[in-house]
Structure 1
C-alpha cells in the first residue's frame, strides 16, 4: 500500500516511513519532525506519476484525494510554469540524478545559485545532505525571453512547444590568445565609403598580424595594397599606427581615429562602437578577430596566428549585443547549433559604456 500525501499550503506532507522511503533513499523532499517529509508540488507529481504515492488529499480529511491527472492540472493552475518545471524535473530524474527545487527551506534552497534558478542537480553519488551541486538549472519555455546578463554559471533547460528539452551550459569564456605581433606605426590609408585602403602595407601586417585583406588577382601588377575594415582601421588609428592621406566624403580635418569612427557610426550606427570595443579587447588578449559574417556572427577568432599561410581553425564565433539584450530561446538555439556545427564555441559579448562582459553558451547532455 503506497502512502497518501496531504496538501498544506504549497507543499505536500507525507508521513509514515516517508523519510526513509523517499528522502534518505532517493532525495525527495525535505525532512520535517520524525519521519514526516514535505514535498514540493513538482516532487509530489513525479511520485504520483511513478505510483509511489497513492494520491494527494486536498483540503484535509473532508476534501478530495487527487490522482496524478487531477493533481497535475490543479498544480498547473495554482503554480507558475508548473508544467515546464515538471517536465524538466522528470527528465532529470529519469537520467538518474537527485535534484531539488531551489526555494528557501528546501534542500537546495540555500545553494549559492541565482534567484532565477529553478532546480539544483547534485553530482552523481551526492544527496541533498551533501549539497554538491552539479547543475544549477534555469527552466525556460520556448516563447519566453532570457536576459543575457544574468545567465552565466547556469544550466539552461529550454522546453519547446512539443515538450522536448534542450540543455545548454552558460559559462564565462576564457579567451586568451598568443598571437605576438605589434603593427608598425607609420601606416597611411585612404578612407573610402566603408573601408580603408592602405596602398603600401608591409607584408607582415597581413601575414603576421592578419589585418585586412590584400587587393589581389590573377593578373595583378599591384603589390602591398591592403583593404582594412572600418573596425580594423579604427583600432589601428586609435593605437597610433594609422593616419589618413585622404578621405572620400566629408571627414574634414579630423584625426584619423575620429574620422574613421565617425564613418563607422554613419554606416552602422551605435552598433559600430560596441563592435569596436569588443574588437579592441580581443586584440588586447592577443587574439585575432576577423569578420564572422559567413557564420552569422560579428567575429570569428584565432588565438595563435604565426602566419596566414599556416592558419589554424578559428576557435570562437562572437556576437556583439548590448548589455540589456534578451535572448529568444529559438535565436539562442540557432546560434549555438551553428557554432557547434562548425566546431567553434559560441560567445556573446555584452558591450556597453562600462566595458564588455562575456558569455559562452554550448549544448549540454546531462
Structure 2
C-alpha cells in the first residue's frame, strides 16, 4: 500500500483553485489534458474531478491555493466514499491507464490512448469488500457496459486498501446437445430422494442422473426428480398414491427454502444439454459438466430475484472456483428469464 507523500516532478507546475466539488485550472492546465488525458477542457481552462486533482497534487504536477495534500484529502473526503475511489483512480493511473470519471465510476482507456485520440476499454465500478452486490443493479450496469462494447469491471477495495479487480460477463449459455431419449419410469419417494430402477450403465445413469443406491436402483435428488416429473418421464409414488407435479413441488419447497430458483436454474441447464450435479462440496448449488462427465467446467449458484450478496462471499466463491479450475457463475432469476453472471478475477 502506498504512503501519502508527494512525488517529485521535473516537468511543469500548474496552479489551480477549488470550485465546489472540482478543481479549476487556467489555460496553462490544458497541457495536462493534451498530453495525459486529465480533466475536461472548458473555454477558460481545465476542470478536474476530485480524484484527478488529488492525484496531480500527490504527483506534484499542480498546486492548489490554500491546500496541501493532507488538507485537500480532508476536504474531498467530506464526499462519502471518495477516498476508496481515489485509491482505485491512483492505482489505474500508476498502471499506465488514462482514466476519466463516469459513466459508472471510471472510464478507463486502452494503454497509450486518451480522450480524443483513442477509445476506452473498461467501465469500472468501485466497491468495498463489505458492500452488498445487488444482482439486478449489477446486471443493468454490466449490460450497459456491454452495449457500449466495454468490459465491465468491479474494483474492490479491502479494509487494508488492497485492490482486486473482477471482470463481469453476462454469459448466454448455448445449447450443447439434445437430451437423450428417456423411457417413462416409476419412482418411490424416500425422504428427500426418489428411487428408480436402473442397473449399471442404464440410460438415466449415462445421462448423468442420480446416485447409485445399489446394483439395481438409482437415487434421484429433489431437483432431478422434479425435472423428470415435469417432463412426464417420472411418476412419483408415495404411500400408495401418485404425487402430482404440484404436490411434489410443494414437498420440494417445504424441504428447501431455495427450491424455486434452484429448480428454475436446474431445468434450464438440463434443457440446454448440460449435466448439473450437486455443488455442495464447493459451497454452491451445482457443478456443471459441459463436455462429458470427466471434469465439471462450471460452478453455478442460483439467485432469487431481488437478492443481494456481500462482496466478501462472492470473492470466496470466485477464489475457490479458480482453485479447482472452474468458472464461477450466478444464475439470477431476472425479468428476461435467467441471467448468468460470471465473476472472474483479472489483472489489469
Tell me the TM-score normalized by structure 1: 0.84
Inter-partner Cα distance in structure 2 for 1:247 and 1:353: 36
1:207-227 CA distances to partner (integer Å, 9 max, x unpaired)? 4311111123xxxxxx33111
Contact residue 199 and residue 216 of structure 2 kept, 8 A: yes
Contact residue 301 and residue 331 of structure 2 kept, 8 A: yes
Instruction: Extract structure 1 runs of 4+ deviating beyond 4 A.
Output: none
Contact residue 181 and residue 208 of structure 1 kept, 8 A: no
Inter-partner Cα distance in structure 1 for 2:122 and 2:304: 27
- For residue 224 of structure 2, what is the aligned residue in structure 1? 232
- For residue 52 of structure 1, what is the aligned residue in structure 2? 61
Inter-partner Cα distance in structure 2 for 1:273 and 1:202: 31
1:228-278 CA distances to partner (integer Å, 9 max, x unpaired)? 00100110011111112x315xx95432x2333222112113x11211110
Contact residue 301 and residue 314 of structure 1 kept, 8 A: yes
- Residue 305 of structure 2 corresponds to residue 317 of structure 1: no
Q: Which is richer in strand?
A: 2
Inter-partner Cα distance in structure 2 for 1:353 and 1:12: 42
Shift in CA distance, 353/88, structure 1 to aligned 2, threshold 3 Å: closer
Contact residue 30 and residue 41 of structure 2 kept, 8 A: yes
Q: Out of 317, 332, 338, which is 1:350 matched to? A: 332
Q: CA deviation at 1:353?
A: 7.9
Q: Out of 24, 31, 34, which is 2:34 matched to? A: 24
2:243 is paired with a residue of what secondary structure? coil
- Residue 81 of structure 2 corresponds to residue 67 of structure 1: no
Superposed, 1:85-234 pairs within 5 Å as 85-102=85-102, 109=103, 117-130=104-117, 132-152=119-139, 153=142, 154-200=152-198, 203-216=201-214, 223-234=215-226
Q: CA deviation at 1:357?
A: 1.8
- For residue 14 of structure 2, what is the aligned residue in structure 1? 3
Tell me the TM-score normalized by structure 2: 0.88
Inter-partner Cα distance in structure 1 for 2:334 and 2:40: 43
Shift in CA distance, 148/131, structure 1 to aligned 2, threshold 3 Å: farther
Q: Out of 274, 282, 287, which is 2:261 matched to? A: 274
2:268 is paired with a residue of what secondary structure? helix
Aligned residues: 326
Shift in CA distance, 89/49, structure 1 to aligned 2, threshold 3 Å: same
- For residue 238 of structure 2, what is the aligned residue in structure 1? 247
- For residue 263 of structure 1, what is the aligned residue in structure 2? 251
Contact residue 15 and residue 25 of structure 2 kept, 8 A: yes
- For residue 219 of structure 1, what is the aligned residue in structure 2? none
Contact residue 21 and residue 76 of structure 2 kept, 8 A: no
Q: CA deviation at 1:7?
A: 1.1
1:182 is paired with a residue of what secondary structure? coil
Inter-partner Cα distance in structure 1 for 2:337 and 2:138: 18
Inter-partner Cα distance in structure 1 for 2:21 and 2:92: 22
Contact residue 156 and residue 165 of structure 2 kept, 8 A: yes
- Superposition CA RMSD, Å: 1.9
Contact residue 336 and residue 362 of structure 1 kept, 8 A: yes
Structure 1: gaps spanning 5 or more residues: 58-64, 103-108, 110-116, 217-222, 306-310
2:77 is paired with a residue of what secondary structure? helix
Contact residue 12 and residue 41 of structure 1 kept, 8 A: yes
